[in-house]
């Protein structure tokens, strides 16, 4: 039994895709993007304005034959996916119920997920061997006793991933852009010797990982070079890969000058502590008292409570205002008074901001816990901390707009030596690109000279004649005394 769906892009172009009940929706997306000329890793499918789960098969989506699907573009910033790996009995030591969990960006490949779980970087478990296993041949003949490679096989819902090509796919390409996913791991013996398989792994995955940095700016090369070869020891590769994952999001925002600005202070003492203040500036004036009394009078008056319609209209207006914001400038101030300015879009979350800040820190401090606080969210002290969560968006959820100052502070559980560190907190390559932070002081007001007081004597009337000098002891003419003619 076969069916078909119609995929429509933003320009109203159509692509008819034939499907079967067991066909994954990711394959439908791949075929549609190949016909329409799009990159499938950057797009998704919607039906009746609802996002489709690309990890499901066509039968489980509830779509009917001939359904019209919309091709929509995803956000460029990666989302977070919680991955659970069900281990076989041979590797289940130290794992509760034989399962390990961790969070990964949606741009992480399945091979890199296995390597991170293998080294204990993800899942907080011991070092395991998941990608370099070998078993001896037991069936006699010329190859008896030779080690053959065991291929890791992942069972994800109804799909089996058992080739190097499939393991190179990212979580997003399999339809996992958010939420949780459970993978069941097993091993399958191949007919390829272990030494040949390791050479093939090194060439295959190294070539695929070297292509990504080549399309970016040359400044990303130091971060990509830290990955090393995939054929190195499993204990070393995942840590380098984790550094690359953290720096990949940072590179998108820090490498381009239009996206960021790093400012460093010229002195260790804050400029606010060097400015002399006037005590008279803090004495309330009569105008302040009148304003305070006016506010008290207004607050004491009874006011009508808003109706449900007014509350809904206000909420809609606020939601429309936040939806119209396309980007926000976030300035992060570090303990050494350095400041990093970056732009974030509507799809960025608190997790994106924390990953960006974590990527700015020097390697000794990147693993420490910290908090980011902002005073533009609410007057309440408990509401100023930005949550490290992918479910809270910076613009739509927290209401950030315009230019926002975010303060960096270490968590209470961090060592005291880290709290006291006031220099070299950022990465060396960022400190070398920093610009000096100059604070322009307002000019001091000049004291104006008071004008001389005008003469109090008024002008004489127009009819009076100027009188000459009067003799001493003489009586004025206007003074008339009684008894004298």
In the block, which residue shows the tokens 């003489």? 474
Q: What is the mean pLDDT of residues 243-267?
A: 45
Q: Give per-residue burial for 205-219: e unless 16+ CB within 10 Å, then b.
A: beeebeeebeebeee
* Domain boundaries, given as residue ranges, for the chain: 3-73, 80-254, 257-269+325-439
CA 141 to chain centre: 58
Q: CA-to-CA distance for 62 and 294, rounded, in angstroms?
A: 63
Fold equal for 3-73 and 257-269+325-439: yes
Q: What is the pLDDT of residues 43-78, one digit of tens each?
A: 888 888 888 888 788 888 888 888 889 888 876 677
Q: What is the largest CA-CA distance in the chain?
A: 164
The whole-number pLDDT of residue 167 equals 87
CA distances from 425 to 226, 362, 375 (A): 20, 6, 23
Q: What is the pLDDT of residues 37-51, one digit of tens each?
A: 888 877 888 888 888
CB atoms inside a 10 Å sphere around CB 144: 10
The whole-number pLDDT of residue 209 equals 46
Identify the CA nearest to 117 among candidates 128, 108, 106, 103.
128
Q: Please give the DSSP secondary-structure letter assigned to residue 218.
A: G
For residue 364, the SS3 value is helix
CA distances from 200 to 16, 192, 193, 239, 459 (A): 38, 10, 11, 22, 111
Q: What is the mean pLDDT of residues 427-450?
A: 67
* Intra-chain end-to-end CA distance of the chain, in Å: 143
Q: What is the mean pLDDT of the chain?
A: 75
The radius of gyration computed from the CA coordinates of the chain, to the nearest angstrom, equals 37
Q: What is the pLDDT of residues 349-359, one digit of tens each?
A: 889 899 888 88
pLDDT-based confidence at 313, cuts 50/70/90?
very high
Give bridge partners of residue 103 from the DSSP assignment. 82
Q: Which fold has domain 257-269+325-439?
A: Ubiquitin-like (UB roll) (3.10.20)
The whole-number pLDDT of residue 198 equals 84
Q: What is the mean pLDDT of residues 237-250?
A: 37
**Looking at the whole model, is its pTM more than 0.85?**
no
For residue 474, the SS3 value is coil
For residue 87, the SS3 value is coil
Identify the CA nearest to 54 among candidates 37, 72, 36, 66.
72
Helices (H) and strands (E) in the chain, counts: 12, 17
For 3-73, CATH number out of 3.10.20.90, 1.10.260.40, 3.40.190.10, 3.40.50.10860 equals 3.10.20.90
Residues 327 and 335: beta-carbon distance below 8 Å:
no
Question: Who contacts 279 (Cβ-Cβ below 8 Å, separation ≥6)?
Answer: none
Q: What are phi and psi of 35, to 5 degrees?
A: -75, -35
Identify the CA nearest to 355 among candidates 188, 22, 154, 106.
106
Residues 351 and 390: beta-carbon distance below 8 Å:
yes
């Amino acid at each position: 039994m076969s069916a078909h769906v119609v995929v429509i892009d933003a320009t109203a172009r159509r692509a008819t895709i034939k499907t079967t009940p067991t066909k994954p929706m990711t394959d439908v997306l791949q075929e549609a993007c190949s016909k329409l000329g799009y990159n499938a890793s950057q797009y998704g499918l919607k039906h009746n304005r609802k996002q489709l789960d690309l990890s499901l098969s066509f039968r489980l989506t509830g779509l009917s034959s001939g359904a019209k699907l919309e091709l929509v573009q995803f956000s460029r910033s990666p989302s977070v996916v919680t991955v659970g790996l069900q281990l076989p009995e041979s590797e289940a030591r130290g794992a509760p119920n034989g399962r390990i969990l961790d969070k990964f960006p949606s741009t992480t490949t399945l091979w890199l997920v296995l390597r991170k779980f293998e080294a204990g970087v993800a899942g907080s478990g011991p070092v395991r061997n998941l990608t370099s296993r070998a078993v001896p041949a037991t069936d006699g003949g010329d190859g008896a006793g030779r080690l053959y490679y065991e291929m890791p096989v992942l069972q994800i819902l109804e799909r089996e991933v058992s080739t190097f090509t499939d393991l190179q796919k990212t979580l997003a390409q399999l339809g996992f852009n958010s939420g949780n996913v459970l993978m069941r791991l097993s091993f399958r013996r191949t007919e390829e010797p272990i030494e040949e398989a390791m050479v093939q792994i090194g060439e295959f995955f190294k070539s695929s990982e070297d292509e990504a940095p080549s399309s970016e700016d040359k400044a990303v090369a130091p971060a990509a070079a830290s990955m090393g070869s995939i054929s190195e020891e499993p204990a070393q590769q995942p840590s380098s890969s984790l550094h690359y994952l953290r720096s990949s999001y940072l590179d998108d925002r820090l490498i381009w000058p239009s996206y960021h600005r790093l400012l460093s202070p010229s002195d260790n003492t804050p400029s606010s502590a060097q400015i002399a203040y006037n005590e008279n500036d803090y004495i309330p004036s009569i105008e302040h008292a009148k304003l305070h009394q006016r506010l008290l009078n207004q607050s004491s008056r009874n006011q009508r409570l808003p109706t449900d319609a007014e509350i809904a209209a206000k909420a809609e207006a606020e939601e429309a205002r936040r939806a119209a914001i396309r980007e926000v400038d976030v300035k992060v101030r570090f303990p050494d008074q350095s400041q990093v300015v970056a732009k974030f879009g509507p799809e960025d979350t608190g997790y994106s901001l924390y990953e960006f800040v974590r990527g700015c820190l020097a390697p000794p401090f990147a693993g420490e816990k910290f908090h980011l606080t902002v005073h533009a969210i609410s007057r309440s002290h408990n509401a100023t901390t930005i949550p490290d969560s992918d479910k809270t968006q910076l613009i739509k959820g927290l209401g950030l707009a315009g230019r926002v100052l975010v303060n960096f502070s270490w968590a209470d559980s961090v060592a005291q030596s880290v709290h006291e560190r006031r220099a070299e907190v950022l990465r060396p390559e960022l400190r070398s690109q920093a610009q000096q932070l100059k604070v322009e002081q307002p000019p001091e007001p000049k004291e104006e000279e008071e004008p001389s007081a005008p003469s109090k004597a008024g002008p004489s009337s127009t009819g009076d004649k100027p009188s000459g000098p009067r003799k001493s002891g003489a009586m004025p003419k206007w003074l008339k005394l009684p008894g004298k003619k």
